[in-house]
Amino acid sequence: MGVRTRLLRFAAGRPPVFVAAAPGGTRTRLLVESELRRRNGRTAASPAAASVLVVCGRPGAALAEAVDAVWDAMPGPRALVRLDEAASRAEVDAGIDRAVRELSDVAAQQADAAERRERGPWSPSGMDGHTAQSGGHADHSGHEHHTGLAMAGRADDRDGLKLDVLHVPLGPVLKDWPAGLVLGLTLQGDVVQAVEVDVAEGAAGGVPYWDEPWLRAAAGERVTVGEAERRRAAGHLDSAGRLLAVAGWEGAAEEARLLRDLALAGEAPAELPARFARFARRVKGSRTLRWMLGGIGRIDQGFAGRHGLTGPPARHPGDVLARLHGWLDGTGEALVRTGDPAPLRGTDGPRGPVGAMPSRAVLALLPELLGGAELAAARLTVASLDPDVEQLTETAWTAHE
């Protein structure tokens, strides 16, 4: 074995993984995240920081294009793992193993690099989420930069200052971001001036993962209340984990995800409610978190009513912090009932009435809610609503401000 192979093998030991999930791939994403935790693996925040790209679920056309852009943006040595929505735990395990082997395969990596060299560097004609800056609508004179990119246009900002206008898409592939959601932001500095909402769908239709028990019960299948409440608890913990990660509190986010996986595991261990209670106390007790999340993304009753908001965000009107506390309370209540063998009736899913697409209202109110927010606050606000694009797969759906 040559020195190069040995070095590559050593370096590939714990590769940082960038996870891209398609709507419909939630189950697979959860398996991947729990498998990465078992391996003490790391997730990367950007393609440039990653060595492995894991695609969960089957992306539709627009999402596939974004995934290709991410794959293009990854430096070699790199490996790609595609796992469809039905992937088993063993398949996830094998996929990541294969990626690690591929990373230290000198011949394969050299072939990949040679092929990329031939294709040449990225050019602005293609679609690229991260690096493209296009001209702002305030300035149509369009002075072309010598690189072929249009310079950013300028417009008055909220204080009447002339500032560059950047058009930056958030999503569909972004860490701690609802799968398939695309927000076309118009930014000045780091302030959001306008938002266009779009969705990039998955190729597989299928049943929304978080609503599945309720939908199965509605279809006449026998589902217990306990099973549904486990799913509700896990759904809220998944959302809370995302929000905590966006808030930069890594330790708490990781604990939320661990609790989520415990709640989903066939027999939830007996100490789960106690462990969750400790976690909830810690999160609710954090003064720093209260300080950082209070007062942003405020939704009052009237605003919620106007957009037909239902489910937890409507039950807990207020700011990002109120919605986080709402999830935590909801999780606590759900965890008490995980052993309930009664048959499931009703349609009150984790995000509101299942079948009525509660996430549609969330998407509809985003442009108004995010306008004028700082980028960081906008991300926290989206995370605190955590719309589920899987609910919308039935209908092509676009909202423009």
Nearer to other proteins, 82 or 175 (CB): 175
Contact with other proteins (CB under 8 A): which of 82, 154, 175, 284?
175
Report the nearest approach of other proteins to the CB of residue 199 (Å). Answer: 20
Contact with other proteins (CB under 8 A): which of 5, 38, 75, 401?
75
Nearer to other proteins, 185 or 361 (CB): 185
Contact with other proteins (CB under 8 A): which of 200, 232, 379, 381?
379
Contact with other proteins (CB under 8 A): which of 5, 76, 271, 339?
76
Contact with other proteins (CB under 8 A): which of 1, 2, 3, 10?
10
Q: How many residues does the chain have?
A: 401
Q: Is 147 in the site for other proteins (CB under 8 A)?
A: yes
**Cis-peptide, bond into residue 77, ω within 30° of zero:** yes
Burial 139-176 (b: 16+ CB within 10 A, else e): beeeeeeeeeebbbbebeeeeeeebbbbbbbbbbbbeb
Q: Is 343 in the site for other proteins (CB under 8 A)?
A: no
Distance (Å, rounded) from C-alpha 58 to C-alpha 105? Answer: 27
Which residues make Cβ contacts (< 8 Å) with residue 161, sequence separation at least 6?
Answer: none
Q: Binding to other proteins (CB under 8 A): which residues in 36-65?
A: 40-42, 45-46, 48-49, 51
Distance (Å, rounded) from C-alpha 43 to C-alpha 50? Answer: 8
Report the nearest approach of other proteins to the CB of residue 58 (Å). Answer: 24
Q: Is 174 in the site for other proteins (CB under 8 A)?
A: yes
Phi, psi of 125 (to 5 degrees): -70, -30
Q: Is 241 in the site for other proteins (CB under 8 A)?
A: no
8-state DSSP, 256? H
Write the Ramachandran bin of 223: left for phi over 0, alpha for psi from -120 to 50, otherwise beta: beta
Contact with other proteins (CB under 8 A): which of 23, 77, 313, 349?
77
Distance (Å, rounded) from C-alpha 372 to C-alpha 274? Answer: 41
Report the nearest approach of other proteins to the CB of residue 75 (Å). Answer: 4
Contact with other proteins (CB under 8 A): which of 62, 68, 93, 130?
130
Q: Is 333 in the site for other proteins (CB under 8 A)?
A: no
Judged by CB under 8 A, the number of residues near other proteins is 61
Contact with other proteins (CB under 8 A): which of 5, 13, 333, 394?
13
Distance (Å, rounded) from C-alpha 72 to C-alpha 79? Answer: 11
Structural tokens at position 303: 């605003």
Handedness of CA 42, 45, 49, 54 (dihedral sign): positive
Binding mask 269-308 for other proteins (x = CB under 8 A): -----------------x-xx-xx----------------
Nearer to other proteins, 252 or 304 (CB): 252
The angle subtended at Cα 251 by Cα 248 and Cα 253, nearest 5°, is 70
Distance (Å, rounded) from C-alpha 259 to C-alpha 269? Answer: 10
List interacting residues with other proteins (CB under 8 A). 7-8, 10-15, 40-42, 45-46, 48-49, 51, 73-77, 113, 121-124, 128, 130-131, 133, 145, 147, 149, 166, 168, 174-176, 187, 189-190, 244-252, 286, 288-289, 291-292, 374-377, 379-380
